[in-house]
Amino acid sequence: MLFNSYPFLFLFLPLTLTLFFLLGRRSHALAMGWMALASLFFYAWWSPPYLLLLLASAGFNYGAGLLLARSPPGDARRPALALAVAANLALLGYFKYADFFIQTVNATFAAGWPAMQIVLPLGISFFTFTQIAFLVDTARGEAKDYDFVHYLLFVTYFPHLIAGPILHHKEMMPQFDRPDISRFSANRLALGISVLAFGLFKKTVLADGLAAYATPVFAAAAHGGTPTPLEAWGAALAYSLQIYFDFSGYSDMAIGLARMIGIRLPLNFHSPYKAGSIIEFWRRWHMTLSRFLRDYLYFPLGGNRHGRQRRYLNLLATMVLGGLWHGAGWTFVIWGALHGLYLVVNHAWRAVRPGSAVRGRGFRLAAGMLTFLAVVVAWVPFRADGVAAARTMLAAMAGLAGPAAETATLDWTAGRLWIAAGLAIVWLAPNTQEIFARYRMLGPVHRQADRLALPWLGLRWRRSPGWALATAVIGFVGLLFFSRGSEFIYFQF
């Protein structure tokens, strides 16, 4: 079920919230049980058979967590933890990477292994990583609440289930324990609906509108066409903005849905294209994935504790695996490797010029433009349908593709206006966290990111007739564009 769909917004969501608050009058536990059941229905809407997979995964990891919690602390927990994590990775590997492995073997050794044609379960990367974090935190003694209904809701809570954020047990369980979240609050509902409307507008109007200038060119490159440099750069910029507004819109909608009952999800997106370096970019883009990769992969690999060269190798390995997490394909490996190299160069530059991070405004502007350009280039293999298509697009952007002809009939006058408008919003407008800063939109872990917010001429959402009208217009316009709606990009991961 998509957030940007009529069944979700006008059937599932009102019914779920109404029964949640009605049950909350009688019992907080009943209300939480209903929310868990509703979240399971939300997942089953896509594929009922895979609901069993989700339940099996949650049941296995809950049992493993109990076993770890009851084991003696310290090294005695390591074998059980290793087995439990390996089981999760095996499940993820089978569904996500088995066909990729077969294709790679066939291409490398001219083997004839038949593809398994496995359908990837929605959200498997997210609920797997969420539960791996739970297991590791339990082994470290950092997970305390083991109520099964709360755990099931922690894994399946529908605002985050399909495309994140990746949650931590310790940041959600205290919130689920609060009885006030099952009591109706008009203020919380108004705030949540407003944030939801902003996210819906970003997805259906901005992201899907920009897709019209990215998809045809990338599709043509995948089918042997050679785009002109203008087309290639236009498509690369359009996709960079499309995925920005797509992920930002989803993140807003997830936060808004959770805030309707007073739950604060961790911040996952904070104006990454305003970053002045690749290091800063990854502190703003998919923040909970960055946190997971840092805490559960980069640090266990040794982090920066074993010298500069080992640090750079760990960074590169972490980002390659992060790229592979996004999808089973060499294009995602290339994307991850590019960002790994970017981070290595960024850290090496800071080691040579330790004061470079605090230069003047002109230096930061130049650094920001260079960072954005590097990110745009890396999005090309991420979006391309294959390595050959990515090579064609990058060659066209560099003017090295040879004779070119327009590969798609597009109105690039309108396309340039879309791209210019998108860049203006990305670079100059306040983000959702800044607009709703009065109401503590940030989650329990990433509240420190609010230090990045800048005052914006008093443009702060408040409960007022003017903002109610503005929010209604934004939401209505978002609804008008449902007809061309599509899945969120991160749903496929």
pLDDT number for residue 485: 54
Domain boundary among 146, 177, 208: 177
Percent of the chain at pLDDT exceeding 90: 74
Which residues are annotated as catalytic? 326
The whole-angstrom separation of Cα 394 and Cα 350 is 28
- Residue 182 falls within a domain, yes or no? no
200-223 average pLDDT score: 95
141-146 average pLDDT score: 81
Number of separate domains in the chain: 2
pLDDT number for residue 336: 98
For residues 133 and 197, state if they share a domain: no
251-277 average pLDDT score: 95
Q: How confident is the model at residue 483 (pLDDT cuts 50, 70, 90)?
A: low
For residues 173 and 246, state if they share a domain: no
Residue 451 has pLDDT above 60, yes or no: no
254-279 average pLDDT score: 95
For residues 325 and 374, state if they share a domain: yes
Q: How confident is the model at residue 441 (pLDDT cuts 50, 70, 90)?
A: low
For residue 258, the enclosing domain spans 187-492
Percent of the chain at pLDDT exceeding 70: 92
- Residue 487 falls within a domain, yes or no? yes
For residues 157 and 204, state if they share a domain: no
Write a three-state SS string for the chain. Answer: CCCCCHHHHHHHHHHHHHHHHHHHHHCHHHHHHHHHHHHHHHHHCCCHHHHHHHHHHHHHHHHHHHHHHHCCCCHHHHHHHHHHHHHHHHHHHHHHHHHHHHHHHHHHHCCCCCCCCCCCCCCHHHHHHHHHHHHHHHHCCCCCCCCHHHHHHHHHCHHHHCCCCCCCHHHHHHHHHCHHHHCCCHHHHHHHHHHHHHHHHHHHHHHHHHHHHHHHHHHHHHCCCCCCHHHHHHHHHHHHHHHHHHHHHHHHHHHHHHHCCCCCCCCCECCHHHCCCHHHHHHHECHHHHHHHHHHHHHHHCCCCCCHHHHHHHHHHHHHHHHHHHCCCHHHHHHHHHHHHHHHHHHHHHHHCCCHHHCCHHHHHHHHHHHHHHHHHHHHHHHCCCHHHHHHHHHHHCCCCCCCCCCCCCCHHHHHHHHHHHHHHHHHCCCHHHHCHHHCCCCCCCHHHHHHCCCCCCCCCCCCHHHHHHHHHHHHHHHHHHHHCCCCHHHHC
- Residue 457 falls within a domain, yes or no? yes
Residue 404 has pLDDT above 70, yes or no: no
For residues 84 and 191, state if they share a domain: no
pLDDT number for residue 358: 54
For residues 216 and 102, state if they share a domain: no
Residue 463 has pLDDT above 90, yes or no: no
Q: pLDDT averaged over the chain?
A: 90
368-374 average pLDDT score: 97
Q: How confident is the model at residue 359 (pLDDT cuts 50, 70, 90)?
A: low
Residue 270 has pLDDT above 50, yes or no: yes
447 vs 282: which has the higher pLDDT: 282
For residues 118 and 193, state if they share a domain: no
Residue 411 has pLDDT above 90, yes or no: no
Residue 340 has pLDDT above 70, yes or no: yes
Residue 401 has pLDDT above 80, yes or no: no
Residue 447 has pLDDT above 70, yes or no: no
- Residue 477 falls within a domain, yes or no? yes
Output the pTM of the full model: 0.94
Give the least confident one: 243-252, 255-264, 368-377, 396-405: 396-405
For residues 388 and 478, state if they share a domain: yes
Residue 139 has pLDDT above 50, yes or no: yes
490 vs 83: which has the higher pLDDT: 83
- Residue 1 falls within a domain, yes or no? no
pLDDT number for residue 459: 74
408-432 average pLDDT score: 90
286-304 average pLDDT score: 93
What are the pLDDT digits (tens) for 107-128? 999 888 999 999 999 999 999 9
What are the pLDDT digits (tens) for 228-259? 999 999 999 999 999 999 999 999 999 999 99
452 vs 5: which has the higher pLDDT: 5
Domain boundary among 119, 146, 177: 177
- Residue 115 falls within a domain, yes or no? yes
pLDDT number for residue 408: 61
27-45 average pLDDT score: 97
pLDDT number for residue 446: 44
- Residue 126 falls within a domain, yes or no? yes
For residues 229 and 142, state if they share a domain: no
For residues 196 and 301, state if they share a domain: yes
For residues 137 and 10, state if they share a domain: yes
Domain boundary among 147, 177, 207: 177
For residues 98 and 146, state if they share a domain: yes
pLDDT number for residue 454: 47
Residue 424 has pLDDT above 50, yes or no: yes
- Residue 60 falls within a domain, yes or no? yes
Q: How confident is the model at residue 452 (pLDDT cuts 50, 70, 90)?
A: very low
Q: How confident is the model at residue 450 (pLDDT cuts 50, 70, 90)?
A: very low
